Chain A
Amino acid sequence: MKVGVCKKRRKKEREINSDKIISRREALSTAAKVAISAVIAGVVAGVGGYFAGSATAPGKTVTVRETKTETVTMGAATTVTTTVTATPKVSKPFQGVKLTMAMFEGPAVTEGFRIHYPKWAERSGAEIEFVTMGFADIYPKIMQDLTSGAGRFDVILYPYDYMGDFAPYLLPLDDYVRKSPELAWRDILRHELRQATWGGKIIAVPYDGDYMGLFYRKDILTNPDYRAEFKKKYGYELPVPPRTLDQLIDVAEFFNGWDVDGDGKVEYGTIVEGTRAADFCLIYYVSNWMAPYAVMPSPPAKYPGIFWFDPETMEPLINSPGHVRGLEKYIEVMKRGCSPGVFEATRSDVLSNITNGNVVLGIDWHDIIMVVESSKEPLKTKHKMGCAITPGSTEYWDRLQQKWVKVEGVHYVPCLSFGGWFMSITKTCKNPDAAFDWIAFTASPEIHGYDITQYYGNAPVRYSEIFNPDVELFKKTGWTEEALWDWLNNQVIPTHLNPNAVLDINIPGMAEYMDAFNVNVERAIKGQLSPKDALDEVASEWEKITEKRGRDKQLKYYRAALGLPTD
């Protein structure tokens, strides 16, 4: 083909295609027009949506006046009768309101929300978006929302231990709580009330009253042949249940590493958490062993339940001889009364081994008995699990006189480990009335009294729940009446009414204090440090944390958490 023809063809092609080719200027101009149009459309849609959402049809107003008389039994001897005039009720008073609630994914603890939510939504007219998260994500995700001011969450369900860090961002609830007949505030257990208060203000409503207790196989410990052998070996009657930690170690050792129930599998004495892993729980397990040796009864102590810091100086108490003795006993039971795998056991291992009957006894949260009694699976521990307060000691360290003091009987110091779950309203919530209505509904005696009977394991937070539970509901879930009263009378009531019960650390910096404890205690467990050296390291790190955050501030928070005067 001739060159001239090629050139002409190319020129003609350019002319044809020039209609399709656009210049750079035109391309940018078109793109800008599209972008601007999209933005305008988005703004219009957004504004329209805003106005549409905020235009709510007013609910029907129905005025109801009624006078209610509440009779609340507090403890065994006191009956309080109050007369409350109900405020006028409006049908669907929160029509169109949307709330967001951050909570643990469950089903433990939170299944009740899903079950009861439709009833509340029907009566209130509001909606709730439940944002669930894994346990390890609760603190960072909620903390990020609170500190960034994003305001995504209106209601949060969180562990007591996080209260100190969350408190500045939470709405005080005093007015709501005291004026809510549905919540029946005076029915809530004393220790739970203490935990719900921060700096003299009520900032939370308790939803799950966590504590740790002892669970044991009644059928194994009452076996006459085993009892005879135990007495021969140890020189005293096999205690049912063990009352002291020394007795627990002996019992665990006796039943360790053989088939105790004839099922063809080897069982072990007990199990504890042996590694700090990623679940923070080591501190809870170890503190239950330390408390009976480390906590002075009050009197002679000025204040009850002092375990972590000196309430006058904020000096760490964690390396006292009492605490060291507790850690030594913890390591002793791991070596004498547990399987070799205990050194890598996490919380889920402890829970599953106790409920499945792979160990004869163990200290853990109340979830154990909830699972055992209401499980649909054929657990060999069903209806065979006994409950008791965590074992105590026969002596404690008197930090005032700097000496060991022997007691007559047993010195019990239960720990309200983990502190339980609490609900609060964030300061960024735009509808606190609706939010509190939801909280009062779920925490009410009627609803919560139902939840504690179910498999998802909410622990009692009310006097009515421990003294006057709905026995029939428990039985419908699979409990026997004998198991229920054994649990309440021998574990829950003695724990919650014990004046020396230890509350968790929940002051700001809780995570740092706990991390320092877990890291160094694990080093002691794994033999890298002696118990004394490990706890000295803990005390040293705690001092640095306290200094960095301000000793006076931390002391004030700690005293506020204990319910002590802060002036």
Chain B
Amino acid sequence: MSRSWLYVLPAIIYAATFSILPMVLSLSLSFCNYNPGSGLFNFVGLNNYLDLFNLARFWNSLAVTFLFAASAITLELSLAFLISYLLSRETKLTKVARVALTIPFMLNPVAVSYDFKMIFDIDYGPLNFLLKKVGLPIIKWRTDFAFLTLLIVDAWQWVPFVSLVLLAGILSISPAIVESGKIDGASELQIFRYLIIPQVSNLITFLILFRLIELLKLFDIVYVLTGGGPGISTETIALFLYVTALQSFNLGRASAASVILLIFAIILGLMLMRVMRRR
């Protein structure tokens, strides 16, 4: 009798304990009204889900998350393509730049957020200092442009990573393809659009999926820079879950919210995987 299952047993136990069991517990909690502080614990069926469907703040947090994800991915991919295309030329400068590009995404997001908090400070930040110097009005970055501020910080940290991945894809394209395009009289833009992009399309899909999963969990830069404000205009779903679960200790509602988020994430993931398979 084959005992090969014994060798995967530790991995199964690990996955069951730290992935499947918490998911099942979370799912069961989502049908309960559980608040440790008040001693409330009772089965309420779908009430938590119905509460969430009627809670504007929950839908706002989902909308903020997906809007931010779409904006960030669009911005990051656009900038990354430009950077990776420029870095695909082999010069001394590009070699140095490729190494320098690894620094931002190796830094701790919380540390990066605090640095940018100082940069965007209204009274003492260098950005407003420069604006004042050139005679422009100062900007309340984290108040009037909170969403943009977060986008800038996120892009600063992740564009280098996306660029390097795209660069690897671009460098793996056979030079003969590009040469043949040049011979046929294609411009740089046409080569980029009709030859290079199709060649790295799978990589693009992977990057979209990768960044989407990360952005659905976005918490650190929001927590430090805006706290979800002004009001709830930058409150992501992760921050909403944190407030609900670990500040309000409304674990039933938080579990229901996380289940809904999981469903959205699975649907999006499956759609992207289908696109990848088609290509």
Chain A residues with CB under 8 Å of chain B are: 24, 28, 139-140, 143, 146-147, 164-166, 168, 275-278, 339-341, 343-344, 508-509, 511-512, 515, 519-520, 522-523, 525-526, 528-529, 549-550, 553
Residue of A146, A343, A529, A550 with most partner-chain B CB within 10 A = A343
Does B180 count as interface, using CB distance less than 8 angstroms? Answer: no
Alpha-carbon distance between A214 and B248 when the two chains are bound, in angstroms: 31
Alpha-carbon distance between A143 and B122 when the two chains are bound, in angstroms: 37
Q: Taking A339-B123, A341-B122 as contacts, is the C-beta distance between A143 and B36 under 8 angstroms?
A: yes
The answer to whether B140 touches A278 (Cβ under 8 A) is: no
Q: B6, B226, B250: which contacts A28 (Cβ < 8 A)? A: B6
Residue of A nearest to B124 (CB): A341
The answer to whether A143 touches B249 (Cβ under 8 A) is: yes
Q: Which residues of A contact B248 (CB under 8 A)?
A: 509, 511-512, 515
Residue of A nearest to B239 (CB): A278
Does B37 count as interface, using CB distance less than 8 angstroms? Answer: yes
Q: Taking A24-B3, A512-B248 as contacts, is the C-beta distance between A276 and B121 under 8 angstroms?
A: no
Q: Which residues of B contact A276 (CB under 8 A)?
A: 227-229
Q: Which residues of A contact B227 (CB under 8 A)?
A: 275-278
B contacts with A: majority SS = loop
Residue of B nearest to A164 (CB): B37
Q: Which residues of A contact B247 (CB under 8 A)?
A: 139-140, 511-512, 515
Bin chain B's interface residue count: 20 to 34
The answer to whether B231 touches A275 (Cβ under 8 A) is: no
Alpha-carbon distance between A460 and B249 when the two chains are bound, in angstroms: 32
The answer to whether B229 touches A343 (Cβ under 8 A) is: no
The answer to whether B138 touches A340 (Cβ under 8 A) is: yes
Q: Which residues of B contact A520 (CB under 8 A)?
A: 231
Q: Which residues of B contact A140 (CB under 8 A)?
A: 246-247, 249
The answer to whether A344 touches B121 (Cβ under 8 A) is: yes
Q: B40, B57, B249: which contacts A511 (Cβ < 8 A)? A: B249
Residue of A nearest to B33 (CB): A548
Does B185 count as interface, using CB distance less than 8 angstroms? Answer: no
Q: Which residues of B contact A275 (CB under 8 A)?
A: 142-143, 226-227, 229-230
Alpha-carbon distance between A343 and B121 when the two chains are bound, in angstroms: 10
Does B39 count as interface, using CB distance less than 8 angstroms? Answer: yes
The answer to whether A341 touches B231 (Cβ under 8 A) is: no
The answer to whether B143 touches A526 (Cβ under 8 A) is: yes
Q: Which residues of B contact A139 (CB under 8 A)?
A: 246-247
The answer to whether B230 touches A526 (Cβ under 8 A) is: yes
Alpha-carbon distance between A275 and B122 when the two chains are bound, in angstroms: 13
Q: How far is the CB of A54 from chain B (nearest CB, A)?
A: 31
16 A-B pairs (CB sep. < 8 Å): A24-B3, A143-B37, A143-B249, A164-B37, A275-B230, A340-B123, A340-B140, A341-B121, A344-B122, A508-B37, A515-B248, A519-B229, A523-B230, A526-B143, A528-B230, A553-B38
Q: How far is the CB of B274 from chain A (nearest CB, A)?
A: 39
The answer to whether A344 touches B140 (Cβ under 8 A) is: yes
The answer to whether B231 touches A168 (Cβ under 8 A) is: no
Alpha-carbon distance between A526 and B250 when the two chains are bound, in angstroms: 28
Q: How far is the CB of A29 from chain B (nearest CB, A)?
A: 12
Q: B40, B123, B223: which contacts A278 (Cβ < 8 A)? A: B223
Does B97 count as interface, using CB distance less than 8 angstroms? Answer: no
In the complex, given contacts A512-B247, A512-B250, A519-B228, what are 9 additional A-B residue pairs having Cβ atoms less than 8 angstroms apart? A143-B37, A165-B249, A340-B122, A341-B121, A344-B142, A344-B143, A512-B248, A523-B232, A528-B230
Alpha-carbon distance between A440 and B35 when the two chains are bound, in angstroms: 32
Q: How far is the CB of A198 from chain B (nearest CB, A)?
A: 13
The answer to whether B249 touches A528 (Cβ under 8 A) is: no
Alpha-carbon distance between A511 and B224 when the two chains are bound, in angstroms: 19
Alpha-carbon distance between A529 and B37 when the two chains are bound, in angstroms: 32
Q: Taking A511-B247, A515-B248 as contacts, is the C-beta distance between A522 and B230 under 8 angstroms?
A: yes
Alpha-carbon distance between A274 and B3 when the two chains are bound, in angstroms: 64
Question: In chain B between 91 and 124, which residues have their CB closer than 8 angstroms to a CB of chain A?
Answer: 121-124
Q: Which residues of A contact B6 (CB under 8 A)?
A: 28
Q: Which residues of A contact B143 (CB under 8 A)?
A: 275, 343-344, 526
Q: Taking A28-B6, A509-B37, A512-B248 as contacts, is the C-beta distance between A277 and B229 under 8 angstroms?
A: yes
The answer to whether B39 touches A168 (Cβ under 8 A) is: yes
Q: Which residues of B contact A339 (CB under 8 A)?
A: 122-123
Q: Which residues of B contact A146 (CB under 8 A)?
A: 36
Q: How far is the CB of B106 from chain A (nearest CB, A)?
A: 24
The answer to whether A522 touches B140 (Cβ under 8 A) is: no
Alpha-carbon distance between A276 and B223 when the two chains are bound, in angstroms: 11
Does B243 count as interface, using CB distance less than 8 angstroms? Answer: yes
Alpha-carbon distance between A275 and B123 when the two chains are bound, in angstroms: 15
Residue of B3, B232, B247 with most partner-chain A CB within 10 A = B247
The answer to whether A519 touches B122 (Cβ under 8 A) is: no
Q: Which residues of A contact B123 (CB under 8 A)?
A: 339-341
Alpha-carbon distance between A366 and B38 when the two chains are bound, in angstroms: 32
Residue of A nearest to B120 (CB): A344
Render B244-264 as a binary contact track against A, CB cut-off 8 A, 1 for contact: 001111100000000000000
Residue of B nearest to A266 (CB): B123
The answer to whether A343 touches B3 (Cβ under 8 A) is: no
Alpha-carbon distance between A173 and B231 when the two chains are bound, in angstroms: 41
Q: Which residues of B contact A528 (CB under 8 A)?
A: 230-231, 233
Q: Which residues of B contact A147 (CB under 8 A)?
A: 36-37
Residue of B36, B228, B230, B233 with most partner-chain A CB within 10 A = B230
Closest 5 CB pairs of A and B: A147-B36, A165-B37, A341-B123, A523-B231, A341-B122
Q: Which residues of A contact B224 (CB under 8 A)?
A: 278
Alpha-carbon distance between A553 and B140 when the two chains are bound, in angstroms: 44
Residue of B nearest to A25 (CB): B3
Q: Which residues of A contact B140 (CB under 8 A)?
A: 340, 343-344
Q: How far is the CB of A511 from chain B (nearest CB, A)?
A: 5
The answer to whether A519 touches B232 (Cβ under 8 A) is: yes
Alpha-carbon distance between A143 and B248 when the two chains are bound, in angstroms: 11
Q: Which residues of B contact A28 (CB under 8 A)?
A: 3, 6
Q: Which residues of B contact A164 (CB under 8 A)?
A: 37
Alpha-carbon distance between A24 and B5 when the two chains are bound, in angstroms: 13
Alpha-carbon distance between A519 and B60 when the two chains are bound, in angstroms: 13
The answer to whether A343 touches B122 (Cβ under 8 A) is: yes
Alpha-carbon distance between A339 and B39 when the two chains are bound, in angstroms: 45
Q: Which residues of A contact B223 (CB under 8 A)?
A: 278
Residue of A nearest to B142 (CB): A344
Q: Which residues of A contact B38 (CB under 8 A)?
A: 165, 508-509, 549-550, 553
Alpha-carbon distance between A549 and B121 when the two chains are bound, in angstroms: 40
Q: How far is the CB of B141 from chain A (nearest CB, A)?
A: 8
